[in-house]
Chains A and B, each alone.
Chain A
Amino acid sequence: MNLSFFDQFSSPYLLGIPLILLSLLFPALLLPSPNNRWVNNRLSTLQSWLLHLITKQLMIPLNKTGHKWALMLTSLMMMLLTINLLGLLPYTFTPTTQLSMNMALAFPLWLATLLTGLRNQPSTSLGHLLPEGTPTPLIPALIIIETTSLLIRPLALGVRLTANLTAGHLLIQLISTATTALLPMMPTVSILTALVLLMLTILEVAVAMIQAYVFVLLLSLYLQENI
């Protein structure tokens, strides 16, 4: 059967049963579970080192109340990291290419940070709408601009992740189709395109990791402002 370029982004179904939940939970199976040994095998040691690094990085700018978000942010980071990286394998479905999924992650978390700020320190979080040292005539315009920027944050978070991953996957598909199509006609151009594809793959690996990190980092930044 012929694949169109967007079939890779359609949510998978098997005999009418949606597999989206399975594809979300599967990466967790690949990570070693913590066991009650003091000195572990290499994989567990590396995983705990990575988790420690991520948690430390995220929690340093936050105060004590912000540390309650540690589990949320670290587990979000690990999930996005594994989902993005696994999506680079052929014939895999990446849940984070679905806008619905990313908005479902971004919107509630952003709203949580906003409501925490408005509830606990309303004047401080509203004060963030006006940066320090603005000249007086600009104040009304700047407040409108800052409010817009605040309200567009969840949209930006979700769409950033979706767009980066979708674009990357689409590009991989397109260039590999070009390589395959050019192979019988102009093999040298095909080889060059294959080289481009190699570079792109390396870029996509980096993008996968960076986008996960950026998502969680921005959430922690919104948390810092509001907690």
Chain B
Amino acid sequence: VLHTARPLHTSQQCLAPLPPLPEKGGEVRHGLIPEEFFQFLYPKTGVTGPYMLGTGLLLYFLSKEIYVVNHETVAAACILSVIIYGIKKYGADVAAFADKLNEEKVAKALAVKNDAIKELETAIEQEKKEQWRVEGRGYLFDAKRNNIAMLLEANYRERLLTVYNEVKKRLDYQVAMQNLKRQKEQDHMIQWVEKNVVQSITPQQQKESIAKCILDLKALSKSAQMTV
């Protein structure tokens, strides 16, 4: 973390594809001292070597009063105990929180990718469906053709009907004309006959018919009186 360590990085430059972050941080013992120190001292002094070194150093500093025990020591003990308590209690939670933040970041990007993939898959499905629909276009066109044929047929029949009606109307007219003509001739003839008959009745004949009628009437009245 100290920037002075940067010149010691002898591997690739920063713009190249970054090497992946290591899974875990460096191993430390007691939260402070790197494991490499213990491994460094192991060949010469074994397992207890570093601890002996530490104890010896501590006792040396205390006995020679290079480190003086005064009120600051008590204050140091307090603050260190607070710090260590805090780390022990909340350390795992904080680490989990940091991991969760990273997880969410990666998950968001993955979600974008997955959504895009899903959309493309749905698009492919729909495309396949359209292709299947294309196969049925023969039926579609047949049905359409049938429809049109029916429409044409119906239209033709309608027009046929109109033609028939028109022709019938004209023929009816002719028949009506003939009937009218005959009727008129009949009426005219009847009238002419009646007129002539009335004209042919001479006054002599009229008198004779009237006298005959009177005689008939008298005879009838006599018979009527007789029956009464």
Pairwise interchain contact B98-A172, C-beta atoms closer than 8 A: no
CB distance from A186 to the nearest CB of B (A): 15
Known: A173-B71, A205-B82. A42 touches B1 (CB 8 A): no
| A41–B23 alpha-carbon span in the complex (Å) | 10
Question: B residues within 8 A CB of A39?
Answer: 21, 102, 105-106
- Chain A, residues 18-58, CB within 8 Å of chain B (1/0): the string is 00000000000110110111111111011001000000000
Contact B78 A201 (CB under 8 A): yes
Asked if B14 is at the interface (CB within 8 A of a chain A CB), the reply is yes
Q: Is A202 an interface residue (CB 8 A)?
A: yes
A interface with B by C-beta (< 8 Å)? 3, 29-30, 32-33, 35-43, 45-46, 49, 88-91, 172-173, 176-177, 179-180, 194, 197-198, 200-202, 205
Q: Which listed residue (A30, A37, A197) contacts B78, Cβ 8 A?
A: A197
A12 smallest CB distance to B (angstroms) = 15
Partner of A176 from the list B3, B21, B75 (CB cut-off 8 Å) is B75
CB < 8 Å neighbour of A46 from B72, B74, B76, B94 = B94
Given A46-B98, A49-B101, A201-B82, verify A33-B74 contact (CB < 8 Å): no
Instruction: Report B's interface with A, CB cutoff 8 A.
Output: 1-3, 14, 18, 21, 25, 69-76, 78-79, 81-82, 94-95, 97-99, 101-102, 105-106
Nearest B residue to A41, CB-CB = B21
Question: Are the C-beta atoms of B1 and A30 separated by less than 8 Å?
Answer: yes
* CB of B40 to closest CB in A, whole Å: 25
Contact check, B78 vs A194: say whether CB atoms are below 8 A apart. Answer: yes
| Interfacial chain A residues near B102, Cβ < 8 Å | 39-40, 45
Within 8 Å CB of A35, what residues of B? 14
